[in-house]
Amino acid sequence: MSASQILPAFFSPIVLTLLLVLLGVVTRNRVVSILAAAFLLLVSLPGLVFPIYDWHQAYSRRDAAPVSDCRADAIVVLAGAMTLTPGRGGSVVEWGDAVDRVFGAVTLWQQGCADRLVLMSGTQMPEGAELEGHAMKSLAERLGVPSRSIEVLPVASNT
């Protein structure tokens, strides 16, 4: 492991808070412990956390070079981008955190890495709901991928 992989753990809010609390206990200084609690509260506020997170994401990607030498027969997008959320009339299907795999696949397609997208359909959709692969196809089409370049596979029981 390199220092760039280890050091961020020591600068996470929870670790810094625990170190401040430990320092407060060892030195028997309540002010340090109160500062630790205030720090944890401060770094938990969405108005502060989200801008810091956005900055971190942009900073993390600064060295990432665009894919320039890619060529494949197809770009395969696994299911799992949609989740079921309990609602009053039953479960509601919505995009989950893994929807970025669809955006990533479309970006690779736009860069010419492959001529076709192959979209998997998951099994977790309630009866009567659109298959995940078809929902991903609609999203990819809205992002500019022509229908002829997209293949939706039937329901898969596993990856």
d(CA 19, CA 29): 13
Report the candidate in 70, 64, 75, 71 with the shortest Cα–Cα distance to residue 120.
75
pLDDT recorded at residue 107:
92
- For residue 150, list its beta bridge partners: 117
pLDDT recorded at residue 61:
66
Report the candidate in 44, 56, 152, 135 with the shortest Cα–Cα distance to residue 98.
135
Per-run averaged pLDDT (10 residues), the chain, 159 residues:
67 82 89 87 83 76 64 91 79 82 93 93 72 90 95 81
d(CA 62, CA 83): 31
pLDDT recorded at residue 57:
75
How is the chain split into domains, by residue range? 3-60, 75-155
Spatial contact of 149 and 137, defined as CB atoms under 8 Å apart: no
Instruction: Indicate the DSSP class of residue 148.
Output: G
